[in-house]
Amino acid sequence: MGSVRGRVAQVALLAVVLGGCAGSPEGGDVKSSPSASTAGRGPGTATGEVAESAGRTGAAGSACELPVTFDIAKGWKAKAVEAEAHADGVAGDLADALLHQGPVTAVCEIDAKPAGHIGFLRVWKGKPGDADARAVLRAFVAAEDNTSKEKYRAFRTGGVSGVEVEYVYTSKLLDESKKETALAVTTPHGPVVLHLGGLDTEEHEKMRPAYELAKRTLRAS
């Protein structure tokens, strides 16, 4: 099921299983938050340019209750992923491929569609343990299959330390490659991974400021 976990199941069922979680107008947080900066597109997005903030998620009472909190870009909508509920309606192997990747399980997705992009910023959570952020992130990327050109680096923001990776995913089904980015941090409640994909590399770069906003405003809950 490795190749299925990587992309086949996501291509076939993304809109039905995970994508369906994010279309509701009630998915976004309503708490206000100061803007980190204005969004931009182009080479600057890879060097830390961030989107305008429209609130936070992660805290109790927000769209997704998580071990961390972070700001959501303007127009993006957050929605919790109920893994058990989805598994009841999807064949076991496909549900596992969609909802689990390596040591972590999908718990939240922030949909870029309302902001005019095609993709998600997804949050994955693991069980508490001794694994460090780099080990968790490496296992996460390895479980995706068909990845290359991984570049790992440590980062620190707001008192939170973690590891970030940029890599290229190649779909054997579509015979296409695209850029993806993820980060991992550890918390007393388990490791957390934030992953930004996108329809293709162009969409990924357009959405990168929203990822940078989440990274820059990441805090332990």
Q: What CATH code is carried by the domain that includes residue 206?
A: 3.40.1000.10
Strand, helix or coil for residue 85: helix
What is the per-residue pLDDT for 21?
A: 37
Contact 101, 143 (CB under 8 A): yes
Note down the domain range covering 142. Answer: 2-220
Stretches where the chain sits below pLDDT 70 are 1-48, 83-96
What is the per-residue pLDDT for 90?
A: 53
Q: 46-78 burial by CB neighbour count: b if 16+ within 10 A, else e?
A: eeebbbbbbbbbbeeebbbebbbbbbbbbbbbb
What is the per-residue pLDDT for 145?
A: 86
CA distance 60 to 25: 19
**Based on the structure, what is the number of domains in the chain?**
1
